[in-house]
C-alpha cells in the first residue's frame, strides 16, 4: 500500500496558506476522481516511455487513448531535447525518473515524488507532468516545485556544487510549459524563514483557517466554518431590493457567486449522503426517490415486436463526435480530411474575475457575435 504524506508537496499551497487543513481533512473521506485516475495512468505511460527513450528498463503499456498517447510523447520529447542541451555543458548528467524526494528536514515526515529530475554540474532541473485540463498551473514561486527542489538538493548538494534549481511544469492539455529558476541560497532562505514554521503548525493542526480557493478543493470544504462565515457577509443585503444595490455591493456579491453556488450544492450532497448512511433526519427535509424517465427492459425485444407490427423506421442515426472520429482515424488523418470543415463557435459572454487568463472581449464585438450565433 502506498504511503501518503500528511503534508504532501501537491497540497502544499493549501497547508502553507491554511495550516490546520491537513489534520481536519484526515477525518474525511479522500475521494479519487476519474480525472485523478486518468492522471495516474498518464504518469505511468509517460514514465515508461521516458525509460525506453533513455535505454532503461521499462514496461510497454498499450494506450487506447490517442490524446494521452500524443501528449505523453510530447512530454518525453521535451525532456530528451532538454537533456541534449544540458549535455553541451555537463558531460554525464544524472536522470532520475519517479524519484522519491525527502524534504523532511523542513516539513515533518515530508516527501514526494519527482516525475523527472536531471542533475547537472551546478544545476538541478525538476520537471513535473500535470495532465489535468482544468486550471493552468504556473511554476513561478510554486511551493510544490520548491519542495521537490529541497528534496533533490538533499540528495545531490553534497556531491555537486548546486547553485540553482530550474523548475518546469509541463501541462500538455493546456498547452502550458512554465519554467521558473531559483538560486540555492534563496530556496534555503525560504525553507528556513517561512516553510519550516508553517509546516510545523500544519503538522500540529494549529493556526487559523481563513477563507480562500483552498476551501473549495479541500475534502472538508463543505463544512468549513470559514467558508460559511465568508458567505454569511451577504446577509446585510437581504432586505434590500437588487435595484438599490450600489456598484460596490454588486461587485462584492459577484465575488461570492461561483463558490456560493458550488458550496450550496456540496452542502446538499453532504446532507443527503449523511442521511443515507446514518439515517439522520434533517429538520424540514426528507429523503424521496428522485424523478426518473421510463426505460425499456429489453430494447432488442422491443425492436423485434415493433418490426413485426410494421414499424420499421425505429432507429435514429447521428454523426460520431469529433473526439470519437479523431480516435478512429488518428489525429493526422482527421486533420487532413476535416481541417476546412471545422470551426469553433463564439461562446456566450461570461463574467469572470480579472485574474482569469482569457482575453477580455469588446462589448460591441460580443453583442454582434452573440447575435450571429443565436
Judged on CB neighbours under 10 Å (0-12, 13-18, 19+), 218 is buried
pLDDT band, residue 1 (cuts 50/70/90): very low
Answer yes or no: is pLDDT of 159 > 60. Answer: yes
Instruction: Report the pLDDT value the prediction gives residue 215, as an integer from 0 to 100.
Output: 63
Answer yes or no: is pLDDT of 289 > 50. Answer: yes
* Averaged pLDDT, 147-152: 96
Residue partners of 37: CB distance under 8 A and separation at least 6: none
SS3 327: helix
Instruction: Report the pLDDT value the prediction gives residue 213, as an integer from 0 to 100.
Output: 67
Instruction: Report the pLDDT value the prediction gives residue 367, as an integer from 0 to 100.
Output: 52
Answer yes or no: is pLDDT of 201 > 50. Answer: yes
Question: What is the edge-to-edge ordering of all strands in the sheet holding 123-129?
Answer: 94-102, 111-119, 123-129, 164-171, 176-183
CATH architecture of 12-204: Alpha-Beta Complex (3.90)
Lowest-pLDDT range of 161-170, 183-192, 304-313, 344-353: 344-353
Q: CA-CA distance, 110 to 320, in Å (whole number)?
A: 48
Q: CA-CA distance, 101 to 113, in Å (whole number)?
A: 6
User: In percent, how much of the chain has pLDDT > 70?
Assistant: 87
At 228-249, the pLDDT tens digits run 777 777 776 655 555 556 677 7
Spell out where 50-191 has E strands. 94-102, 111-119, 123-129, 164-171, 176-183
Where exactly are the structural domains of the chain? 12-204, 213-273
Q: CA-CA distance, 130 to 36, in Å (whole number)?
A: 11
Q: CA-CA distance, 34 to 38, in Å (whole number)?
A: 6
Q: CA-CA distance, 108 to 88, in Å (whole number)?
A: 38
Q: CA-CA distance, 333 to 330, in Å (whole number)?
A: 6
pLDDT band, residue 127 (cuts 50/70/90): very high
Lowest-pLDDT range of 96-105, 136-145, 239-248, 303-312: 239-248
pLDDT, greater one: 164 or 230: 164
Question: Can you give the C-alpha Rg of the chain in angstroms?
Answer: 26
Amino acid at each position: 500500500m502506498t504511503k501518503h504524506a500528511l503534508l504532501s508537496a501537491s497540497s502544499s499551497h493549501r497547508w502553507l496558506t491554511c495550516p490546520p487543513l491537513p489534520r481536519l481533512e484526515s477525518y474525511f473521506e479522500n475521494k479519487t476522481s476519474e480525472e485523478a485516475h486518468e492522471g495516474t495512468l498518464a504518469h505511468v505511460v509517460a514514465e515508461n516511455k521516458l525509460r525506453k527513450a533513455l535505454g532503461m528498463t521499462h514496461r510497454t503499456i498499450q494506450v487506447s487513448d490517442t490524446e494521452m498517447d500524443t501528449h505523453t510523447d510530447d512530454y518525453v520529447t521535451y525532456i530528451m531535447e532538454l537533456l541534449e542541451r544540458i549535455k553541451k555543458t555537463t558531460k554525464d548528467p544524472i536522470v532520475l525518473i519517479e524519484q522519491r524526494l525527502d524534504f523532511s528536514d523542513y516539513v515533518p515526515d515530508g516527501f514526494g515524488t519527482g516525475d523527472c529530475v536531471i542533475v547537472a554540474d551546478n544545476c538541478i532541473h525538476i520537471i513535473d507532468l500535470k495532465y489535468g485540463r482544468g486550471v493552468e498551473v504556473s511554476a513561478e514561486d510554486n511551493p510544490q516545485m520548491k519542495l521537490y527542489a529541497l528534496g533533490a538538493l538533499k540528495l545531490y548538494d553534497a556531491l555537486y556544487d548546486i547553485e540553482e534549481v530550474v523548475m518546469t511544469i509541463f501541462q500538455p492539455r493546456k498547452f502550458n510549459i512554465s519554467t521558473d529558476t531559483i538560486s540555492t541560497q534563496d530556496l534555503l532562505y525560504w525553507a528556513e524563514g517561512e516553510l519550516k514554521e508553517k509546516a510545523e503548525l500544519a503538522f500540529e493542526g494549529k493556526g487559523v483557517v481563513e477563507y480562500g480557493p483552498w476551501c473549495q478543493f479541500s475534502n472538508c470544504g463543505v463544512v468549513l466554518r470559514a467558508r460559511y462565515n465568508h458567505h454569511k457577509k451577504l446577509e446585510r443585503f437581504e432586505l434590500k431590493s437588487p435595484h438599490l444595490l450600489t456598484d460596490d455591493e454588486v461587485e462584492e456579491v459577484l465575488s461570492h457567486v461561483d463558490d456560493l453556488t458550488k458550496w450550496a450544492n456540496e452542502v446538499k450532497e453532504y446532507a443527503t449522503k449523511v442521511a443515507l448512511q446514518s439515517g439522520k433526519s434533517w429538520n424540514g427535509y426528507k429523503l424521496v426517490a428522485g424523478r426518473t424517465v421510463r426505460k425499456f427492459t429489453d430494447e432488442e425485444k422491443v425492436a423485434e415486436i415493433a418490426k413485426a407490427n410494421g414499424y420499421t423506421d425505429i432507429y435514429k442515426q447521428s454523426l460520431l463526435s469529433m473526439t470519437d472520429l479523431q480516435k478512429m482515424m488518428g489525429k493526422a488523418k482527421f486533420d487532413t480530411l476535416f481541417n476546412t470543415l471545422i470551426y469553433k463557435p463564439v461562446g456566450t459572454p461570461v463574467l469572470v474575475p480579472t485574474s482569469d487568463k482569457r482575453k477580455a472581449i469588446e462589448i460591441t464585438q460580443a453583442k454582434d457575435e452573440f447575435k450571429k450565433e443565436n
